[in-house]
Amino acid sequence: MSGTSLDGLDIAHCEFARNTGGRYDYKITVADTIPYSDEWKQRLSTLENGSAYDYVKTHADLGKYIGMQVRSFIDKHDLYPCLIASHGHTIFHQPHLGFSSQIGDGNAIQAEAGVPVVYDFRSLDVALGGQGAPLVPIGDQLLFSDYDFCLNLGGISNISYNRNGKRIAYDISLCNMPLNYLARQMGEEYDRDGEFARSGKVDSKLLDAMNNQSYFTENGPKSLGKEWFVDVFQPMLVQAPLSLRDKMRTMVEHIAFQITRDVAAMPKGKMLVTGGGALNKFLIERMQQLTSHQLCVPDKLLVNYKEALIFAFLGLLRINNEVNTLASVTGAPEDSCSGSIVGLPASLMH
């Protein structure tokens, strides 16, 4: 898994077993995060402005890099995986124009790692007319049904839950993407425990400008991409005549407000909170102060690797020819079994 926060490459070795209720038990046996070098951060963060040559070259290079890192992970931990499921790294996400692009060529991954690969999980749903996102909700439904809500605080915050017998999910707001953008201007990769934000003050003018974006009044299915940050939020942050700490504090207030507002009308319940933002103690405090729902932050292994776990699960569903993308979530006209397969013997496909 490679997320929009550019924290690094998350690699998790996962095992699954179908239980009697038609759902699944899971285990993350071992997991690592490989931080991106400054060179990779630069390439991935600016690729949307590069040439067609840059795009294709980086697609191939990232696939090779992912394959090499997975091979090293496999050898280091003496593993024998039957499948690699790779999300890739999102460069463009514009489903309203008919495309969502995740680079990291699955063919290169397979060639380097020597293990069958499932990748490109979003394109089929987008081609069918869906958002291609979020994809995690099928995993929330089949792996984490003990929780009423599943909230992910990654570069973008998203939520999923059951309503009237259907799984509903959508992107709520930006999250770590703008927070890390501000932290880097302070010489840090991220705001540890939210301490920078805690020391700042909310600016009501900037907060109102953030909250008054039309996206927040739209009905789902809906999703966000890096483009929205670059076009909408980054200019607001640049132009606001505030200290970085005040900008960060205002951003936290915006995130907490949007998340808790969206679930305010829902019955009280347990909310599983994962993703890097779950480790931002100040953000979690503000959310808990604004909601009557019980926020449940699990152990760090699940906080950090839930998305990697679920993409492994999506790969399993794909080779079993089972639904892994929900139309009720993406807005496509039908559920689908998404993902391109490389190197898998026909005998292993059910």
CB 341, CB 318: distance < 8 Å: yes
d(CA 286, CA 249): 11
d(CA 32, CA 206): 38
The CA–CA distances, whole Å, from 33 to 2, 96, 308, 331 equal 10, 33, 11, 32
- Residue 6 pLDDT level (bands cut at 50, 70, 90): confident
Tell me whether strands 117-119 and 84-85 are parallel, antiparallel or unpaired.
parallel
CB 31, CB 305: distance < 8 Å: yes
pLDDT in tens, 54-88: 999 999 999 999 999 999 999 999 999 999 999 99
Query: What phi, psi does 19 have (nearest 5°)?
Result: -100, 180
pLDDT of residue 344: 81
| 317 contacts: CB under 8 Å, gap ≥ 6 | 138, 323, 324, 337
Mean pLDDT of the chain: 95
pLDDT in tens, 192-217: 999 999 999 999 999 999 999 999 99
Query: What phi, psi does 201 have (nearest 5°)?
Result: -125, 145
Q: At what angle do helices 52-77 and 38-46 cross, to 10 degrees?
A: 140
pLDDT average, residue stretch 307-327: 97
pLDDT of residue 4: 76
First-to-final CA distance of the chain: 25
Helix (H, G, I), strand (E, B) or coil at 16: strand
Measured in whole angstroms, how far is the alpha carbon of residue 210 from the centre of its chain? 21
Q: Is the pLDDT of residue 265 over 90?
A: no
Tell me whether strands 117-119 and 340-342 are parallel, antiparallel or unpaired.
antiparallel
pLDDT average, residue stretch 297-324: 96
Helix (H, G, I), strand (E, B) or coil at 244: helix
Q: Is the pLDDT of residue 348 over 70?
A: no
pLDDT average, residue stretch 275-298: 97
Tell me whether strands 270-274 and 149-153 are parallel, antiparallel or unpaired.
parallel
Q: Which domains does the chain have, with CATH numbers?
A: 8-132+308-348 (3.30.420.40), 137-302 (3.30.420.40)
pTM assigned to the model:
0.91
Higher pLDDT, 292 or 265: 292
pLDDT of residue 350: 59
Q: Is the pLDDT of residue 346 over 90?
A: no
